[in-house]
Structure 1
Amino acid sequence: MRGMTSQFLGLVGVALAVTFAAPLSYADPPQRTDPWPGLVQDIFNNRTMDDGTGVISIEMPSRAEDAAIVPVTLRTTLPSGDTRHVKSITLVIDENPAPMAAKFKLGEAAGVSEISTRVRVNNYTMVHAVAELDDGKLLMVKTYVKASGGCSAPAAKTADEASKRLGQMRFRQFAKSTDAPASGAREAQLMIGHPNNSGLQMDQVTHLYVPALFINELRIWQGDKLVLAMEGGISISEDPNIRFSYISNGAQQFRVEAKDTDGRVFKGEWPAESSAM
């Protein structure tokens, strides 16, 4: 018995020696896969992108106050003497369920250099803005945003309130504060009453998911010339609100046409105010 006890104690001593000789091992937390390379393939067909710093910028709060209405501003500035123009800007929220938030097409002679809107952000995420120039070159910038739950946040308005305002539009025009009126530079703001349901929100009464319903096409003309078009997704916030800069072309009228995923078409017309303030 004494021999067995000595043998047992010896084995315990060896085990303890091994345990304390080596640090405790814990499983490493799983590393999150960066979704951006896959998004480059899916959205941009793996096209080469260059650093867009100095040509395009993206402005968002680093920590969102409300993940369902996060402000974002996109700006473009081509170097003096550069005769190219920006054809489109694609906004990608990497960790959102549908990452491509919007693709903005810019009218060739519209002079759009700034676009602001509000988006839903579902997780802590990198956000990319990709500008395509008319020579086919892609330029990319990115920023990091801390937010959570924006795509599933309940709507601010009830279904009845939203239905009463469905498709209602407001259009405002302003003189661009950084330019003299003679330059023709202006700003305008379009607001559309629409729930822009993401499909991830739950009805607080029935506890059923509200079907996705959102503005997926938008076009704004100055006279017969396109100023701005948008291909939208579920990441654009409730009651879409878009503010943009443009160059007045002397046309007498603005026209807007929007379509949603149920096939509804909403239209509006407003006189162009050349001296808008």
Structure 2
Amino acid sequence: MLSRMRHLAIQVAAAAMILGATAAARAAEDEATWTSIKPDIFGERAIAADAGVISLDAPDRAEDAALVPIDIHIAIPEADHRAVVVVTLVVDENPSPVVATFTLGEATRHFDLSTRVRVNAYSYVRAVAQTSDGTLYMARAFVKASGGCSSPAVKDPAEAKANLGKMRFRVFAGTGRDEAQVQIRHPNYSGLQMDQVTRLYTPAWFVQTLSVTQGETILFTMEGGISISEDPTFRFSYRADGRPVTVEAKDTEGHVFRQGFTGDGGT
């Protein structure tokens, strides 16, 4: 009986070792892409993970790989007098991994920012914050999704062009949340989508830069790529104070879109 118990214990220990080795190998494999692309994005700079400065929420499994919701939360501890100046959003396995770089307004210590992105394959999504002293902090989430960058556009091309550059600005103050949302009508073609009629690839055409200002104060600016979803949408921390809000965007074909809104969301 004792011999059987020892034999069973050895089997359990061996199985645990195999599972542990498999998990370690899987973790190394999952990080292989990040290891290869990180020097191109951040050079050899050290990046601290899970330090409480930045966090990221994303679905474990996306309902639509072309419209994956991403929520970024910045919270500098009270005793820390630094601010976050830049946030870089990365999807490791996308053809163009850097989704967007967001430059935040002056002295940003607490800020929430949400958007929708394309995810082309099972991948880590990462948000990397740079503080005012140059330190980098990272949060990540693994998202199961595939085909987001090649998924056909939802809207008909003629409809997309007819509404090109139209903007919406919405304030959520009445709901008890100090947030606002900006949406720009734009197909944001990735260059990997095939026209279902001609069977040719649609050339990349997307919103490249965006700025949102409140009065003369910059709330944030963005430099984006092909991984931002169709009709780019950004929800962010916002407190109305009577000053107007101006949104300006420019796409890769040189079109400039600019619209002003009252601070409470009216045009």
**What is the TM-score with the length of structure 2 in the denominator?**
0.84
Q: Deviations over 1:29-77 (max 9, x none)?
A: xx78811122221011221111244221110000001000000000011
User: Which residue does 2:22 correspond to in 1?
Assistant: none
Percent identical residues:
51
In 2: Cα distance, 1:145 partner to 1:132 partner = 23
Letter in 2 for 1:199: G
User: Which residue does 2:251 correspond to in 1?
Assistant: 260
Residue of 198, 201, 208 corresponding to 1:206: 198
| Contact kept? 2:85, 2:108, Cα under 8 Å | no
Structure 1 counterpart SS, 2:238: strand
Residue of 134, 147, 154 corresponding to 1:156: 154
The runs of at least 4 aligned residues of structure 1 exceeding 3 Å deviation read 109-112, 176-179
CA RMSD, Structure 1 to Structure 2 (Å) = 1.9
1:217/1:65 Cα in 2 relative to 1: closer, same or farther (>3 Å)? Answer: same
Structure 1 counterpart SS, 2:162: helix
Letter in 2 for 1:102: A
How much does 1:251 deviate? 4.9
| Contact kept? 2:245, 2:262, Cα under 8 Å | yes
- The farther-off stretch of 68-77 and 101-110 is 101-110
User: Which residue does 1:236 correspond to in 2?
Assistant: 228
User: Which residue does 2:207 correspond to in 1?
Assistant: 215
- The farther-off stretch of 111-120 and 206-215 is 111-120
Letter in 2 for 1:118: R
1:124/1:176 Cα in 2 relative to 1: closer, same or farther (>3 Å)? Answer: farther
Letter in 1 for 2:158: D
User: Which residue does 1:226 correspond to in 2?
Assistant: 218
User: Which residue does 1:193 correspond to in 2?
Assistant: 185
User: Which residue does 1:50 correspond to in 2?
Assistant: 48
In 1: Cα distance, 2:77 partner to 2:110 partner = 15
| Contact kept? 2:82, 2:109, Cα under 8 Å | no
In 2: Cα distance, 1:167 partner to 1:129 partner = 27
Residue of 99, 103, 115 corresponding to 1:117: 115
- The farther-off stretch of 204-213 and 51-60 is 51-60
Q: Deviations over 1:247-269 (max 9, x none)?
A: 45x35210111000001000010
How much does 1:127 deviate? 1.2
1:166 aligns with 2:164: yes
How much does 1:142 deviate? 1.1
Structure 1 counterpart SS, 2:32: coil
| Contact kept? 2:70, 2:114, Cα under 8 Å | yes
Unaligned 5+ runs, structure 1: 1-30, 180-185
- The farther-off stretch of 139-148 and 51-60 is 51-60
User: Which residue does 2:8 correspond to in 1?
Assistant: none
In 1: Cα distance, 2:50 partner to 2:135 partner = 10
Unaligned 5+ runs, structure 2: 1-28
| Contact kept? 1:112, 1:227, Cα under 8 Å | no
Residue of 138, 142, 145 corresponding to 2:143: 145
Residue of 92, 95, 106 corresponding to 2:93: 95
1:81 aligns with 2:79: yes
Name which one, 1 or 2, has greater alpha-carbon Rg. 1
| Contact kept? 1:112, 1:244, Cα under 8 Å | no
Name the one with the larger helix percent.
Answer: 2
1:127 aligns with 2:125: yes
In 2: Cα distance, 1:178 partner to 1:172 partner = 14
| Contact kept? 2:74, 2:109, Cα under 8 Å | no
| Contact kept? 2:75, 2:109, Cα under 8 Å | no
Letter in 2 for 1:60: A
| Contact kept? 2:54, 2:139, Cα under 8 Å | yes
